[in-house]
Amino acid sequence: MAKSKVITKKQQKKQQQGGSLRRKETAQDQSYTVPQLIEQAHNLLAQQHFEQAIRKLDHALALEPENREARELAGIAECEEGDVEKGRAHLQQLISQPAAESTQPPASASPYLYLAQTALSPQEALQHYESALQVLQRRLESMTSGATAAATGNEGMSGIAQEQGEEETEQEVRKECVMALVAMVEIWMSDLCFEPDAPTQCNTLISRALHISPDDPDALLTLASIRMSESNPREAAEIVVRVADAVLRVAERLEMKADELEKVQAQLQAQVDADADFTLDESETTDLELPPMQTRYLVTRLLLEHSDFVRALKMVDTIRGEDDEDVEGCYLEGWGWYCRGKALEDGVASAETETGDEGTVRVEECYMEALGSLMECQSLHAQQSHPDEGILAHVNELVAELEGKGVKVDVGDDDDDEGEDGEGDVEMS
């Protein structure tokens, strides 16, 4: 009982300190202007300090209830903090209240996107996504007209576009459009899949996405999913391979650039040491970028689904190279090697067709690689308390199956224990 009282007193003291801190913060806020409060809220949101940001924005709205930026940020902050109902109320008020200039919509698509993601029905979500697209497409048109005006010397027309361009590039806006359209397709393929016009809607929406960004990987992968739903696996596989090859080309070029940059930096250091003039051409580094991890997970899974194991494992290499402790990447590596070995064992694939950069592989080698990756995945899953129990259940199932086949992995304390062929850490009984 004594211990319980001590804890209670500590908790009370902590609550009192928190209350005192909030009162102090509130008193400080009284001296700030609304623009200052909004700027502070932006910084707090960027750091995911949602509760503090909400307090700043509540004070800003108390001073200026019609401030649209403060209202939008408050809605977003409340949604992120977990009070979706309150956040939606802010955003609904924002899109329903008249703007300063006639029927001008919100300056950003964020209110519509958040309302779509928290919608109470698929129809409501589709409506908000369409509204978001209208805002984004107007922004694209403004950027395009701004670029044209700049080229012709008409700076008056390009002023707004230039100002927006400082915050967001045209490519980023195109990506937002694509993601909204992809989300709409997913609604038609899931919640509304039994509607008679679902196939037509899916094809129309993905055509819009590809018109905006023809080579966008997420749009192309969605098109592949549509083709699979239409029982057209051949075209779906071709699309997935197209995306995979594009990503792998970027990965190869990035690796080459990294090697070149390392050589140039070594030359630079040598020149500096020799007191000579030498400068690094920044254009040589380029701005190539791989798609997000989630996109590469999906590409890998689709490649495995289409039995393209060599490409799938190359895609996994881009994930593991970026983060060698990524649980899902490690799982996909193990699953990929298992599927490759299983196809060879069942005669679905031959050793000749399953030839990659490492040469012809055997069933035993595939299973050894698989077990090593899957056991590593078990370890990483436990260390990180990873929330996806489905991955762990599948990994445990595969490990049990491989061990039942007599596959073994010897984990040595150091790499010096490996055999001459470099596979001293694995064996198959």
For 166-215, the pLDDT digits (tens) are: 467 899 999 999 999 999 999 999 999 999 999 999 999 999 999 999 99
Predicted local distance difference test score (pLDDT) of residue 315: 97
Predicted local distance difference test score (pLDDT) of residue 87: 95
May I ask the CATH class of domain 291-428? mainly alpha
CA distance 49 to 42: 10
Predicted local distance difference test score (pLDDT) of residue 410: 63
Listed residue (197, 199, 196, 245) closest to 220, CA to CA: 245
Place of tokens 């960004």: 213
CA distance 266 to 247: 29
How far, rounded to the nearest angstrom, does the alpha carbon of residue 252 sit from its chain's CA centroid? Answer: 21
Predicted local distance difference test score (pLDDT) of residue 97: 73
Q: Do domains 17-94 and 291-428 have the same CATH topology?
A: yes
CA distance 88 to 75: 6
Predicted local distance difference test score (pLDDT) of residue 334: 97
pLDDT tens, residue by residue, 303-316? 999 999 999 999 99
Please state the φ and ψ torsions of residue 427, each to the nearest 5 degrees. Answer: -155, 160
- Greater confidence, 79 or 261? 79
Predicted local distance difference test score (pLDDT) of residue 209: 98
Token representation of residue 87: 């956040």
Percent of the chain with pLDDT over 70: 72
User: Around 154, how many Cα atoms within 13 Å sit in the side-chain half-sphere?
Assistant: 10
**DSSP β-bridge partners for residue 408:** 427
User: Where along the chain do its domains lie?
Assistant: 17-94, 232-290, 291-428
Residues in the chain: 429
CA distance 243 to 223: 11
CA distance 293 to 3: 47
pLDDT tens, residue by residue, 382-398? 999 999 999 999 999 99
pLDDT tens, residue by residue, 48-98? 999 999 999 999 999 999 899 999 999 999 999 999 999 999 999 988 876
Residue 232 has pLDDT above 70, yes or no: yes
Place of tokens 């069942």: 346
Predicted local distance difference test score (pLDDT) of residue 155: 45
pLDDT band at 358 (very low <50, low <70, confident <90, very high): low
Percent of the chain with pLDDT over 90: 64
CA distance 174 to 13: 51
Most confident among 47-51, 140-144, 259-263, 417-421 (mean pLDDT)? 47-51
CB 138, CB 120: distance < 8 Å: no
pTM over 0.85: no
Predicted local distance difference test score (pLDDT) of residue 418: 45
User: Around 310, how many Cα atoms within 13 Å sit in the side-chain half-sphere?
Assistant: 16
pLDDT band at 27 (very low <50, low <70, confident <90, very high): low
CB 184, CB 205: distance < 8 Å: yes
CATH code reported for the domain at 17-94: 1.25.40
CB 193, CB 179: distance < 8 Å: no
Q: What is the 3-state secondary structure (H, E, C) of the chain?
A: CHHHHHHHHHHHHHHHHHHHHHHHHHHHHCCCCHHHHHHHHHHHHHCCCHHHHHHHHHHHHHHCCCCHHHHHHHHHHHHHHCCHHHHHHHHHHHHHCCCCCCCCCCCCCHHHHHHHHCCCCHHHHHHHHHHHHHHHHHHHHHHHHHHHHHHHCCHHHHHHHHHHHCCCCHHHHHHHHHHHHHHHHHHHHCCCCCCCCHHHHHHHHHHHHHHHCCCCHHHHHHHHHHHHHCCCHHHHHHHHHHHHHHHHHHHHHHHHHHHHHHHHHHHHHHHHHCCCCCCCCHHHHCCCCCCCHHHHHHHHHHHHHCCCHHHHHHHHHHHHHHCCCCHHHHHHHHHHHHHHHHHHHCCCCCCCCCEECCEECCHHHHHHHHHHHHHHHHHHHHHCCCCCHHHHHHHHHHHHHHHHCCEEECCCCCHHHCCCCCCCCEEEC
Listed residue (380, 311, 317, 369) closest to 338, CA to CA: 369
Average of per-residue pLDDT across 263-283 = 54
Token representation of residue 236: 């779906």
